[in-house]
Amino acid sequence: MKPKKKNIQVGVFDSGVGGLSVANYLEEHLENIQIQLVQDTQNIPYGNKSPDLLIELVTPLLHRMVEDGCEVIVIACNTVTTNIISHLRKVISVPLIGMEPMVKTAAEQTKNNCIAVCATPATLDSDRYKWLKEKFASKVDILEPDCSRWSSMIEANQVEHQLIKKQMKDACQKGADVIVLGCTHYHWIEEEIQKTVAGKATVLQPVLPVAKQLKRIMAGLD
Query: Catalytic residue positions?
Result: 77, 183
Positive or negative: CA dihedral 123, 124, 130, 136: positive
**Beta strand residue intervals within 18-148, DSSP E:** 33-39, 72-75, 96-98, 114-118, 141-143
Through-space distance between the first and last CA atoms of the chain, rounded to whole angstroms: 18
81, 131, 135 from 107: Cα distances, Å: 20, 14, 10
98 closest CA partner among 221, 220, 207 = 207
- The three-point CA angle 187-115-165 to 5° equals 50
Can you tell me the distance from the alpha carbon of 75 to that of 88, in angstroms, rounded to the nearest whole number?
Answer: 10
Q: b/e per residue, 151-169, with b = 16+ CB within 10 A?
A: bebbbeeebeeeebeebbe
CA atoms within 13 Å, Cβ hemisphere of 39: 15
